[in-house]
């Protein structure tokens, strides 16, 4: 299993870490989607979900800087080697109303990477909203 931790840094920027190796990557939303385009586009599932949540948060004047995402990738060998499951846990600091939480959840689930993954890949997504920053 591969563990990837992603931190939303605000302004549609994410910092991702491949836990086993310590390798890190910065993503920025592209210029054609409200970002600065100063780094890689968020084409990894977790960074895309956080970035789309960031866009929704900006529209609501909500600051979700400090939000985090953990993605656990599990491979399968049947019928051939491929990704079998991506378990996603997203933590968002608050306080946020139930309506704001629902809008952020809907935004995350509509991210282009999530919508592009093959339907055979299991993608359970868990959200944790906290009242502390």
Q: What's the pLDDT tens digit per position in 34-81?
A: 999 999 888 889 999 999 999 999 999 999 999 999 999 999 988 898
Q: What pLDDT does 23 receive?
A: 96
Which residue(s) pair with 108 in the sheet? none
Which residue(s) pair with 74 in the sheet? 85
Q: What pLDDT does 133 receive?
A: 53
As a whole-number percent, the residues of the chain with pLDDT over 90 amount to 82
Q: What is the CATH number of the domain that holds 10?
A: 3.30.300.20
As a whole-number percent, the residues of the chain with pLDDT over 70 amount to 98
What is the domain count for the chain? 1
Range of the domain at 24: 2-129
Instruction: Tell me the C-alpha distance between 124 and 133, whole Å.
Output: 25
Q: Quote the pTM value.
A: 0.86
Q: What pLDDT does 55 receive?
A: 97
């Amino acid at each position: 299993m591969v563990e990837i931790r992603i931190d939303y840094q605000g302004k549609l920027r994410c910092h991702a870490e491949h836990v086993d190796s310590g390798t890190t990557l910065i993503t920025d939303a592209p210029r054609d989607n409200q970002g600065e385009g100063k780094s890689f586009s968020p084409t990894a599932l977790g960074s895309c979900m956080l970035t789309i949540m960031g866009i929704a948060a900006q529209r609501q004047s909500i600051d979700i800087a400090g939000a985090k995402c953990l993605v656990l990738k599990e491979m399968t060998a049947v019928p051939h080697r491929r990704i079998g499951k991506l378990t996603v846990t997203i933590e968002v600091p608050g306080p946020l109303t139930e309506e704001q939480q629902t809008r952020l959840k809907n935004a995350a689930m509509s991210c282009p990477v999530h919508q592009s993954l093959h339907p055979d890949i299991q993608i359970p997504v868990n959200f944790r909203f906290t009242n502390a920053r």
